Amino acid sequence: MAKLEVKEYPTEPLKCWEQAKNLRKNYYEDYLRAHEKGGLRWAGGAWAFSAIPAGLGEDVYCITGEPYGATVAFFKDFAAKCHDATEAAGFPRTLCAYMRNYWGSILLDKYILTDGAVVDGYPAPDFIWQDHICCSHGKWYQLVRWLEKQKGKEVPMYCVDVSVGYPTDSDIEEYKINYLVGQLNDGIEWLEKATGRKYNDHLLCEAVWNEIKATSLWAEICALNQAVPAPLDEKTMYSLYVMGTLMKHKPECVSFYQTLRDEVEDRVKRGIAAVPNERYRVITDTQPPWGFLKIFREMEKYGAVSVGSLYTFGLIGMWEYKPDGTWSPRSIPPSKPQTREEALRAVVEWTIHKPEWAHFYLPELKTKMMTDIVKQWKVDAVLLHYNRGCEGLSLHIAENRFGLIQTGVPVFPFEGNMGDERDFDFAGTLARLTAFFESMGLKKLKE
């Protein structure tokens, strides 16, 4: 193979990596051991209004379903057992892969920790606090209730209907806000009845403010990746954004993202690269095939680095279009909410602008955001994961491909599944990716 001279940037590991690992480890263990501390456990999606149950006390621990499903997927042997269990129970393999992993864990009555250790006895939640962001999320916890009931446990559930669409201009219709705030007000009454605890509005205000700060901070961190060389690669970012999907309302999350933001800023100033031989920048879309993250290492052999995605930036990060047309971290409100009503309105107004809502309602807006990311993050090509495991985030993805191609952006689509390795052909995908990189004029730099 011809030796190619490619500029090598300095690189170094993230200093806060261990902190990230410990935060995530503690999160799963806290949920498992909540009852030993006299605390409560709740379950719901990563986009659930997690700041609301925080008003029940500081000893209330949650487990969010999608990150748990992804954790299961990462450990392929355990994931295979979960798939077998859900299919044996009569559920088709075409359903949401995270949901099947989650149900499988309950059916097996086993709980997996972040190091892959499997604990006997799935820790049932004391209540479910969910929102209906897609068709799968609408049924997910209904089935969890049913599965727990088979084991003799009655789990109360509250769901928020969030089907108000994505705001297309700066003026959000008031009725949309009122519709959501009303449900959250009702939800607080429901939480008091379901748990027998008195609700604390001060804790609510703190949690809402934490969520706003944490999700804005994550966007700031992602914006720093516009630098060349990129200080972070997307494979690493997956391990960092996850904090926002687990505990966006907690002070630990804010504190961690502040530390991370400062460190990434420092990397940019010093020109520290995530991938030392960076010479080609891509973005992806939707969740990756979690059992095959090594595909990112294969890309690096060509000097290609994934600098993020709308998914990685916007699943938790909050963004907005600034007057100059740039897509930038959303400015946080001028002051912290002081009352329940202020807190609920603040969290609703903030959440409704989540860029990932556009997946469901406005494919053309999603294409625009992706196109703007391509420009601002100096991206050469887009790798689109036609993710058979997530109907929600794959919705309209072929339209997005078409829209990107029309603007002249090279696109490489590949089929796979975020949570079920049976739907991902690693060798075939790698062969096609090789062809794509070669067609872009890249040669392999190392084996």
What is the 3 state secondary structure string of 38-51? Answer: CCEEEEECCCCCCC
Piece in contact with other proteins (CB under 8 A), picked from 30-38, 361-369, 376-384, 432-440? 432-440
With CA atoms as reference, report the closest residue to 230 among 4, 6, 11.
11
β-strand partners of 11: 273
Residue 431 near other proteins by CB under 8 A: yes
94 part of the interface to other proteins, by CB under 8 A = no
Q: Which residue, 88 or 431, has its beta carbon nearer to other proteins?
A: 431
- Subset of 228-287 contacting other proteins (CB under 8 A): none
Q: With binding defined as CB under 8 A, does residue 405 bind other proteins?
A: yes
Distance CA 35, CA 212 (A): 29
344 closest CA partner among 234, 201, 224: 201
The CA radius of gyration of the chain, in Å to the nearest whole number, is 21
Task: Return the structure tokens found at 403.
Answer: 């829209």
> Tokens 């002081």, residue?
338
109 binds other proteins (CB under 8 A): no
Total residues found in the chain within this entry = 447
Q: Which stretch in 256-264, 346-354, 365-373, 429-437 sits in contact with other proteins by CB under 8 A?
A: 429-437
Query: By rule CB under 8 A, what string of x and - marks binding of each residue 49-88 to other proteins?
Result: ----------------------------------------
The residue count for binding other proteins (CB under 8 A) is: 15
- Residue 434, exposed/middle/buried by CB under 10 A (0-12, 13-18, 19+)? middle
Site string for other proteins, 356-395 (x = CB under 8 A): ----------------------------------------
Choice from 18, 87, 262, 438 touching other proteins (CB under 8 A): 438
428 belongs to the binding site for other proteins (CB under 8 A)? yes
Distance CA(98)–CA(95), nearest Å, equals 9
Binding to other proteins by residue 30, rule CB under 8 A?
no
Q: Does 93 bind other proteins (CB under 8 A)?
A: no
Q: Binding of other proteins at residue 2 (CB under 8 A)?
A: yes
What are the tokens at 445? 């730099």
Tell me: cis bond preceding 229? Omega within 30 of 0 counts: yes
Instruction: Decide: is 328 part of the binding site for other proteins (CB under 8 A).
Output: no
What DSSP string describes 121-150?
S----SEEEEE--SHHHHHHHHHHHHHHHH
**314-324 b/e (C-beta count within 10 Å ≥ 16 → b):** bbbbbbeeeee
Judged by CB under 8 A, which of 336, 353, 432, 445 binds other proteins? 432
Under rule CB under 8 A, residue 135 binds other proteins: no
Question: Can you tell me whether residue 61 is helix, strand or coil?
Answer: strand
Is 410 a binder of other proteins (CB under 8 A)?
yes
Stretch that binds other proteins, among 101-109, 125-133, 173-181, 434-442 (CB under 8 A): 434-442
Nearest approach, Cβ of 308 to other proteins (angstroms)?
23
Considering the complex, state which of residue 150 and residue 407 has its C-beta at the smaller distance from other proteins.
Answer: 407
| Footprint of other proteins (CB under 8 A) | 1-2, 405, 410-411, 415, 425, 428, 431-432, 434-436, 438-439
